[in-house]
Structure 1
Amino acid sequence: MHRIIRTTGAAVLAAALLVPLASCAGQAAPASTPTESALPEGEITFWSALAGMDLVAEAFNESQDRIHVTFESVPNGANGGYAKLAAAISAGEAPDVATIEYYALPQFASSGSLQSLTGVYSDDVLSSFSDVSRSLTTLGGEVWALPYDAPPSIVWYRQDLLEAAGVAVPTTWEEFADAARAVHETTGGYLASFNANEPSWYAALAWQNGAQWFDTDGDSWVVDIDDAATTDVAEYWQGLIDEGAVKAVASYSDEWTNDIASGTAAGIVGASWSATGIITRAAGQEGEWIAAGLPVWEGAEAVTPIYGGSTFAVPETSGNAAAAAEFIEFLTTDPAAIEARGDTGSAYLANSDLTAVSQAAFDASFFANDIWEVFDEAASHDSGDWQWGPNFDLTATAMKETMGATAPGGDLAAAFTSIQETTADGLADLGLSVAP
């Protein structure tokens, strides 16, 4: 049986403040008494920006006759999807199931916009998801969503351009810097671009180096965005930008796309899902691209952060939450859901039982090595400790405004002092307690 716990925004916020978010998976006690009911039935709506989810909804509808899902495609969060969802929740017109990325989940949960899923799913279901995805969906001791994918950060290389420069695939960031210089000097290309328009991209790099931007101390948030780990990463990339060994360019821009198509881009620091974008932009480069693990810092153990990734949650206003919960379980645990979505991308799923299904659905013949083997190896490493803050929009906006000015001779490390102040002040303005 599925049950949904309704928790007020104030209670949610208090729980999120009092319990370290990243350490509470599976520890919450139910906030209300379970209510036995008949199997869920009726109409529900589903919003998602993920390609192919209309086909998944159709497959679910065809698999049973109790619940009917109506699907609506919405913009992704960065392009207005979250603003649309927040407005719909406020107006009581939200869907029953919403797709929310990990970084945005705390903001919706702490504002009282979602229904807790604590106690809804069995331990068998919850334990099927990776540790990192469970920690990022369990906030303040409550389960707020089921994770869909947990894409490991990796690097994609033009193998032929590495060979032309006489360098091997880098295993450390020091080797990566040397390789970037060699590739640029030899081919004129760039082993990586610095993507100032992607806050989550930089966050993953800081995460790998041991940064912890958000934590809790008693009833206060601790904000530490300009910590030593983050500053070290900033100084590393600023140095490469100053040398001209990497290029500061917005990802997904026309210039970025043209660099891939023309062969100027010799590498991309991305994630497992980057495969689709490379295939669509790198026509004629079949057999030249390979996937590889993220370089590690000298003397440090391999840590693989996730970059991106989505979850499925039930908005607080849903009138048929039990049916919504059943559909979410189908989305995240049933092989039929992955098969129905088809060849829409190299999704590395949070549920490892479905990896083979996802792999079979995606044509990876474009690449010169076994990219799924690389994904598996990357995901096998410790993901470290990380939690997103209660309103990452504040941080992301500040990052885009300050990091976007990064250029040769800039000071990326100093930008994070400003980002720190903007985030801490913004959270305080929202009424949250922020430790000095």
Structure 2
Amino acid sequence: MRVRKFRTTLAVAAVAVVTSLLASACSGGGAATSDGGKVTLRYWAWAPGSAKEVAEFNRTHPNIRVVHTDAGGGEQSSAKLLAAMRADNAPDLALVENTALPRMIVAGAPLDITDYVSDVRKNYSPGSWAQTTFGGRTYALPQDVGPMALLYRKDVFDRYGVKAPVTWEDYRKAAATIKARNPKLTMASLSTDGWGWYAAVAAQAGDDWWSVHGDTWTVGIDGAHSRTMMDFFQGMYEDGLIAADPILTPTYNQQLNNGTMLSWPSAVWAPGVVYGVAPKTAGKWALAPLPRWNADDPTVSFQGGSSVVVTSKSSHPEEAAEFAKWLNAGDQGAKMILNVQNGYPAALSGQKAATSQKPPALMPEQSDYYKVVAGIAKHTRPVTWGPNTDVAATAFTDAMNAAVHNGSSWADVLTVTQKAVVNDLKKQGFKVSEG
């Protein structure tokens, strides 16, 4: 088996760890087995419908058998994968959230699959492909993406003569107009633990919270655009136009149901989430592009999204990559992501197929829903996530909770977060530059 050593793009300090992991893969470790010429691969994925996708692949690929396991999503899944790597019991493939991918790479979990998947690069937009590529090398195939968008209560906006906002300043004015007419209504809640949301909106404004050049990480969390963004939303909060409470809690869900929470600046997957907790509000919502910082710039970033890695423990990376390409980059797999998972496919073919779909159940009358989504997806700017997003999440949330409680500067939350991230990167042995 041919294995490529992990390059120093992400961190010089990680090279020894990754090289060791790859060496163990070459020496016969790995999850795949071979039974009478049929290769068996283990695949961990939490996405709804993954088992049906695997069954279809197995039906049409007689020489490969994929066994699916739901190992749980988010941080739980990433932690389990790293533990399995250490125990030499990792699957051949795993679904990984894009925010966690750099940490997984540093830990040596994903294999560099550039040589196996370069033929399907054309099947993705540059923004989607960039989510899984570091230093010119590819470590995963994008499965679903979340171009940012605005979900809003069209019926309430119409009642008060407010149009879908084009800019963030329009958004603020819309909130003020509605609040003046009905003080019980709140435009949105931007939760204090929503560090990833703020990072994505900062990217929309032009700031990268992390970037990597060669073997040096640049941290720009405390950037000028990011501080302006925080000041803007703090102003909305202090004027009573938005809340800073947790989302998707019983209280929040009640606000969605009774019509007092009017919008969710999130991503194109949001309608499915809201329909799941407030189905009786179907027909009252609409989706629009996320408000812009500049009226002439339609750029948005990604909120959420996941990709499939081939693990460095797999004894059959070529077959594993074949499954990953079928599911994520091929027409049939992409359509299943759309129709079985109810996700928004990263592959362009899946996005094109979506334009002929019926709109989501939450907005059955928005016939142009998927055309709006396709237009949004054309103007995406990728977010570069760092190798210590967990540190950023903790530092941001703690500082943001304190700022809201004490009435202190939200922008200074970024200063605290940047310091924590930089100190942690240096402690791990990374070369660091502050942007």
Amino acid at match of 1:63: T
Using the TM superposition, give the Cα deviation of residue 98 of structure 1 relative to its aligned residue in structure 2, in angstroms.
0.6
Amino acid at match of 1:431: G
Alignment of 1:37-76 (within 5 A): 41-76=38-73
Q: Describe the superposition over 1:377-419 as per-residue Cα deviations: whole angstroms up to 9, x where unpaired.
A: 11122x3464211222221222222223453734211111000
2:243 to 244, 247, 254: 247
1:399 aligns with 2:393: no
CA distance in 1, matches of 2:200, 2:417: 16
Using the TM superposition, give the Cα deviation of residue 299 of structure 1 relative to its aligned residue in structure 2, in angstroms.
5.1
CA distance in 2, matches of 1:391, 1:135: 19
1:374 aligns with 2:372: yes
Q: 1:129 to 1:354 in 2, by over 3 A?
A: same
Using the TM superposition, give the Cα deviation of residue 334 of structure 1 relative to its aligned residue in structure 2, in angstroms.
2.9
Aligned-partner SS, 1:15: coil
2:303 to 302, 307, 326: 307
Amino acid at match of 1:397: T
Q: 1:43 to 1:219 in 2, by over 3 A?
A: closer
The question of whether the paired residues in 2 share the 8 Å contact of 1:155 and 1:292 is answered with yes
Q: 1:356 to 1:158 in 2, by over 3 A?
A: same
Q: 1:366 to 1:224 in 2, by over 3 A?
A: closer
The worse-fitting range, judged by mean Cα deviation, of 392-401 and 417-426 is 392-401
Q: 1:255 to 1:433 in 2, by over 3 A?
A: same
The question of whether the paired residues in 1 share the 8 Å contact of 2:337 and 2:344 is answered with no
The worse-fitting range, judged by mean Cα deviation, of 230-239 and 184-193 is 184-193
Q: Describe the superposition over 1:11-70 as per-residue Cα deviations: whole angstroms up to 9, x where unpaired.
A: 43x12359xxxxxxxxxxxxxxxxxxxxx9411111112111111111111112111111
Q: 1:425 to 1:297 in 2, by over 3 A?
A: same
Using the TM superposition, give the Cα deviation of residue 247 of structure 1 relative to its aligned residue in structure 2, in angstroms.
1.1
Amino acid at match of 2:193: N
Amino acid at match of 1:207: A
Amino acid at match of 2:189: S
1:169 aligns with 2:167: no
Q: 1:411 to 1:118 in 2, by over 3 A?
A: same
Using the TM superposition, give the Cα deviation of residue 276 of structure 1 relative to its aligned residue in structure 2, in angstroms.
0.5
1:192 aligns with 2:192: no
The worse-fitting range, judged by mean Cα deviation, of 42-51 and 246-255 is 246-255
Amino acid at match of 2:424: G
Amino acid at match of 1:155: L
Q: Describe the superposition over 1:205-255 as per-residue Cα deviations: whole angstroms up to 9, x where unpaired.
A: 111110111223554211110101111111111111111101112122222
The question of whether the paired residues in 1 share the 8 Å contact of 2:129 and 2:142 is answered with yes
Counting matched residue pairs gives 409
Q: 1:299 to 1:59 in 2, by over 3 A?
A: closer
* Equivalent residue number for residue 332 of structure 1: 328
Amino acid at match of 1:160: D
The question of whether the paired residues in 1 share the 8 Å contact of 2:98 and 2:306 is answered with yes
Alignment of 1:131-150 (within 5 A): 131-150=126-145
* Equivalent residue number for residue 74 of structure 2: 77
1:155 aligns with 2:153: no
The question of whether the paired residues in 1 share the 8 Å contact of 2:231 and 2:410 is answered with yes
Aligned-partner SS, 2:123: coil
Q: Describe the superposition over 1:71-124 as per-residue Cα deviations: whole angstroms up to 9, x where unpaired.
A: 11122123x11111111111111111111122211111122222110111243x
Q: 1:164 to 1:299 in 2, by over 3 A?
A: closer
Using the TM superposition, give the Cα deviation of residue 429 of structure 1 relative to its aligned residue in structure 2, in angstroms.
1.1
The question of whether the paired residues in 1 share the 8 Å contact of 2:147 and 2:268 is answered with yes
Alignment of 1:174-185 (within 5 A): 174-185=169-180
* Equivalent residue number for residue 225 of structure 1: 221
Q: Describe the superposition over 1:314-356 as per-residue Cα deviations: whole angstroms up to 9, x where unpaired.
A: 1111122222111101111233334545745542222111224
Using the TM superposition, give the Cα deviation of residue 312 of structure 1 relative to its aligned residue in structure 2, in angstroms.
0.5
1:280 to 263, 271, 276: 276
Q: Describe the superposition over 1:119-142 as per-residue Cα deviations: whole angstroms up to 9, x where unpaired.
A: 11243x111111011112111221
In structure 1, stretches of 5+ residues that fail to align are 19-39
RMSD: 2.4
CA distance in 2, matches of 1:346, 1:355: 12
CA distance in 2, matches of 1:405, 1:194: 15
1:15 aligns with 2:9: yes
Aligned-partner SS, 2:146: coil
Aligned-partner SS, 2:110: coil
Aligned-partner SS, 2:149: strand
Aligned-partner SS, 1:268: strand
Aligned-partner SS, 1:308: strand
CA distance in 2, matches of 1:404, 1:359: 41
Aligned-partner SS, 1:16: coil
1:413 aligns with 2:407: no
CA distance in 1, matches of 2:62, 2:322: 13
Aligned-partner SS, 1:303: coil
Amino acid at match of 1:64: H
Amino acid at match of 1:286: A
CA distance in 1, matches of 2:271, 2:400: 26
Q: 1:311 to 1:154 in 2, by over 3 A?
A: same
CA distance in 1, matches of 2:110, 2:337: 26
Aligned-partner SS, 2:304: coil
Q: Describe the superposition over 1:114-172 as per-residue Cα deviations: whole angstroms up to 9, x where unpaired.
A: 2110111243x111111011112111221101111222100011011112222111101
Q: Describe the superposition over 1:189-218 as per-residue Cα deviations: whole angstroms up to 9, x where unpaired.
A: 122111222322111111111011122355
Aligned-partner SS, 2:385: coil
Q: 1:346 to 1:402 in 2, by over 3 A?
A: farther
Using the TM superposition, give the Cα deviation of residue 426 of structure 1 relative to its aligned residue in structure 2, in angstroms.
0.7
Alignment of 1:114-129 (within 5 A): 114-123=110-119, 125-129=120-124
